[in-house]
Structure 1
Amino acid sequence: MRLICAVVSDVGPHRRINQDAAFVAPWGAAVADGVGGGPAGDLASATIVHRMTAGWHGVDDVDELAVRVRSANWDLRARVDSDPSLAGMATTLTGLVVARGGGMLLVHTGDSRAYRLRDGELTQQTRDDSLVQALIDQGVIGDAEARSHPRRNIVTASLAGADDDRLWVIDADAAQGDRWLLCSDGVSDYLPDSVIDSALASATHPDDAAGALVRLAMDAGSRDNITAVVCDVASGVPVAEPPRFAGAAAIVFDDALEDTA
């Protein structure tokens, strides 16, 4: 399998800095969102995305992908060790990666999301690590209340450079013909599933779908950074080409983010 991907990331009308970072390539894609309330969210998300992709030679399975992401996470800790003012910076991460054997792997932590559109049916493939999701699970609030809950931006898991940061890596149920969406909460907090479904299903190419979702989120009053990555699963072997970056990952470039592999 290989991926045909597009990404659109916008700072949004209410933010000065884009703390979302993303990449797309035939062999994988991901979105990361700097955790609000902490310092340098743009640096955290860009660091994870760059380090995850640096010197990419592929992975065989979930364990190997987990090791790569954990290694990227250690770079966050190294940054804080060298600059204590960065203490507390953290990021979400949701990514889709083609394994060497041809299967697909899904990595996730935080409240960025992955959706899959298959045969006209949209299903959310990740579970939010968030306070609001915990309240939903406990029956305290419903899905409708969650969209406007004042504490919906509080995440319960993220990457912050610690050894015990929670991370989920699984074999994804992906097949040729699927269309996947990876997005920050600037999309998912403002668009109901019915709107996401329609935008993904009606677009001919991932570029059109990603652009439409970002525009729809803006029209819906999104007050966050807005990032949509749309990937079509196709047959064939993915070309080992360099990734394309978006958001903070396309802006934050310094010696520490360069590929030293």
Structure 2
Amino acid sequence: MKLDLTGRTALVTGSTQGIGAAIATGLARAGARVGVNGRDEKRVREAMSRIADQVPGADLVAVPADVTTPEGVEEVARALPDLDVLVNNLGIFGATPAMEITDEDWRRYFEINVLSAIRLTRRFLPGMKERGWGRVQYIASDSAVVIPAEMIHYGVSKTALLAVGRGFAKEAAGSGVTVNTVMAGPTHTEGVESFVYELVDEQLPWEEAQREFMRVHRPQSLIQRLIEPEEIANMVVYLASPLASATTGGALRVDGGYVDSILP
């Protein structure tokens, strides 16, 4: 299969590191013009440099903006007025005992993880529909359906994205625009290695350490290793491509079999 996004313009929110950076790299490799987003311009430029090293000749646009605000969304629109692919990757997480999650915590998680994606969708979906082609994606998590006891506010925000994706897919029905949610499982991102070594023998080589961590602490996983960000990016790039034209309104799992269910 040839995943060709030549001539298409994409935005990946929160793409200076981790899954977002991997998605931006994958879209650039497929030929898309990619907007790299973060709040700090220096970090955006550094991320672009790393992507360019991996994809020589990549067509990248710096989009430093706080997309959790209406003003930030308009900054994005000025930089990328005719967006073809919108990947709502930005999100925060953190462990807090259930009874200690404050009203402000709930609001903050909803504002960043959910409402920012809704605002961007409202801003760019109409143009996609007018042009008769577009891709909107939301990066959710296995936590959307396996709510973590230690961070239910995070889990609920990801559950909300499943509904948001399904709802906007109906709004885009028959227009040539697809809308989907990608559910990522336990992923090898920045800081995870130190976290793993807090829980397993620090003398173990990394490959053995992560498998021990998954065996003991994430036994639901069927691949019994952490997912690499590039593996999640592969799904996102496919869904962004013309080859995925019949896939919409879905919640697609890249979770290594973590969720013990046939359907989300």
Please confirm whether the aligned pair reaches a TM-score higher than 0.5, indicating the same fold.
Answer: no
Larger strand proportion of the pair: 1
Larger helix proportion of the pair: 2
| Relative contact order higher in (CA < 8 Å, ≥ 6 apart) | 1
Task: Return the TM-score normalized by structure 1.
Answer: 0.32
Task: Return the TM-score normalized by structure 2.
Answer: 0.32
